[in-house]
Amino acid sequence: MMVQIGIMKNRFFRKKDIFKRFSIRFFRVLGFLILGFMMACGDDSSSTAEKLSEVAVEPDLPIPDFSADSAYAFIEKQLAFGSRVPNTGSHLACAQWLSDKLESYGAKVIRQAAVVKAFDGTRLNMQNIIASYNPEKNRRILLTAHWDSRPFADQDSERQNQPIPGANDGGSGVGVLLEVARQLGQANPQVGVDIILWDAEDYGKTEVPGSYCLGSQYWVVNKHKPNYDAMYGINLDMVGDPDARFTREGHSMEYAANVVEKVWRTARLYGYDQYFSLERTEPIIDDHVYVNRKGGIRMIDIIDKPANQSFFDEWHTHRDDINTISKETLKAVGQTVTAVVYREK
């Protein structure tokens, strides 16, 4: 009888133990299901904020320190040529300087010349300036900005038919990429990098669809290398204003949301949250749209355009001069882009 009672007790405790283990597993699974349901129901900004807070893996290569002073000096140099409007002497002189500067930083440079037709019938002699690092590597990142300046001051109250300096709108993105190029020339990354400075981007009219971004529109159907491809691309536009706010622009999220997440996470790691907002904003037609739609490369736009606001106050005016440029903003953008490149394997 005692043996039977012992056997019964053992069976009872074994069943109790099995039930306990089952209960733990059940509630564990239930907890994960509830957590997943809560995350799925949360808004897009919340889930992205959680992703951005993840601990990043240390890169294999040291990340260079981006020099805002250097980027600022590159903007000043561009302005010294005068307006960089196609068909002008200052445009040609600046193109030569940009090519020489990129070559001095170890890049293989191509000047892609073409004649494109502007909205008003003007035939523009344009040049896309293309600089390549590690051209033998298949895994590549495409970095771009436009280097031409606007021939009209349509948002100004005076001299509307005269060209603007284009310090922020044009000059800032180029200044950042020239400093990135300088770093690439000193420390080789693990991937290939192509820098394209688009021409004839700002010779357009809002009322005429497709009249902007003529340089990138030409490139997507005439790539500098047959079957050229890149893992992803980053376009920089208006990245120097002191109060810049880079939001998650609509087309960037539509075509390359994971690239937006990669870049914004990197910015967060460096403490640049005040510049890189999680706000999602309306789509903007910029060079990245054509690269996505017709070039077949996922590309995002880092552009200063808060929701329900115009661009920076001096946009398309004669006041878009060196006074619109903040070294702190250049540092935030430049260090983020540099880190993205050097973290890639």
Note the pLDDT of residue 318: 98
76 assigned to some structural domain:
yes
Reported as a pLDDT band with limits 50, 70 and 90, residue 260 is very high
Per residue, what are the HEC states of the chain? CHHHHHHHHHHHHHHHHHHHHHHHHHHHHHHHHHHHHHHHHCCHHHHHHHHHCCCCCCCCCCCCCCCHHHHHHHHHHHHHCCCCCCCCHHHHHHHHHHHHHHHHCCCEEEEEEEEEECCCCCEEEEEEEEEEECCCCCCEEEEEEECCCCCCCCCCCCCCCCCCCCHHHHHHHHHHHHHHHHHHHHCCCCCEEEEEEECCCCCCCCCCCCCCCHHHHHHHHCCCCCCCCCCEEEEEECCCCCCCCEEEEHHHHHHHHHHHHHHHHHHHHCCCCCCEEEEEECCCCCHHHHHHHCCCCCEEEEEECCCCCCCCCCCCCCCCCHHHCCHHHHHHHHHHHHHHHHHCC
Per-residue pLDDT for 8 more than 50? Answer: no
Residues 298, 142: Cα–Cα separation, whole Å: 10
Which of 236, 242, 308 is closest to 274 using CA atoms?
242
State how many domains the chain has: 2
36 in the same domain as 94 = no
Would the pLDDT of 190 be above 80?
yes
Residue 44 scores a pLDDT above 80: no
Name, in order, each residue with C-beta under 8 angstroms of 274's C-beta and a sequence gap of 6 or more. none
248 pLDDT more than 50: yes
In a domain? residue 50: no
Q: How confident is the model at residue 182 (pLDDT cuts 50, 70, 90)?
A: very high
Q: How confident is the model at residue 40 (pLDDT cuts 50, 70, 90)?
A: very low
Q: Report how far residue 156's alpha carbon sits from residue 316's, in angstroms, rounded to the nearest whole number.
A: 7
pLDDT of residue 31: 43
Is residue 298 included in any domain, yes or no?
yes
Whether the Cβ atoms of residue 298 and residue 255 lie closer than 8 Å to each other: yes
Query: Residues 302, 239: contact at Cβ < 8 Å?
Result: yes
Residues 236 and 283 in one domain: yes
In a domain, 62, yes or no: no
CA distance 104 to 9: 85
261 CB contacts (<8 Å, ≥6 apart)? 48, 51, 52
Sheet holding 232-237, edge to edge: 108-117, 123-133, 192-198, 140-146, 232-237, 299-303
Per-residue confidence (pLDDT) for residue 30, from 0 to 100: 44
Residues 161, 80 share a domain: yes
Mean pLDDT of 144-160: 98
- Which distant-in-sequence residues (6+ apart) come within 8 Å of 194 by Cβ? 130, 131, 132, 133, 140, 141, 142, 143, 230
pLDDT tens, residue by residue, 272-316:
999 999 999 999 999 999 999 999 999 999 999 988 888 999 999
pLDDT tens column, 12-34:
334 444 444 444 444 444 443 44
| 95 part of a folded domain | yes
- Residue-wise pLDDT tens digits, 88-136: 999 999 999 999 999 999 999 999 999 999 999 999 999 999 999 999 9
Is it the case that residue 186 has pLDDT exceeding 60? yes
266 and 332 share one domain: yes
Domain-embedded: residue 56? no
Only one residue has tokens 């000059």, namely 171
Same domain, residue pair 135 and 17: no
Q: What is the mean pLDDT of residues 331-344?
A: 98
Q: Are residues 35 and 76 in the same domain?
A: no
| Claim to verify: residue 36 and residue 150 sit in the same structural domain | no
User: How do residues 197-232 score in pLDDT, each as one tens digit?
Assistant: 999 999 999 999 999 999 999 999 999 999 999 999
Tokens for 330? 């250049």
- Whether residue 234 sits in one domain with residue 137: yes
Averaged over 173-177, what is the pLDDT? 99
Segments forming the whole domain that contains residue 294:
68-343
CATH code of residue 326: 3.40.630.10
> Does position 4 have pLDDT exceeding 70, yes or no?
no
Taking Cα atoms as reference points, which of 339, 307, 249 lies closest to residue 59? Answer: 339
Instruction: Mark whether 112 and 14 lie in a shared domain.
Output: no
State the pLDDT at residue 59.
66
Residue 3, pLDDT > 60, answer no
Least confident range from 57-66, 124-133, 167-176: namely: 57-66
The tokens describing 65, both together, are 């320190």
pLDDT value of residue 306? 87
The pLDDT assigned to 58 comes to: 61
This prediction's pTM = 0.85
CA–CA distance, 215 with 125 (Å, rounded to integer): 10
Residue 58 belongs to a domain:
no
Instruction: Assess whether 27 and 111 both reside in one domain.
Output: no
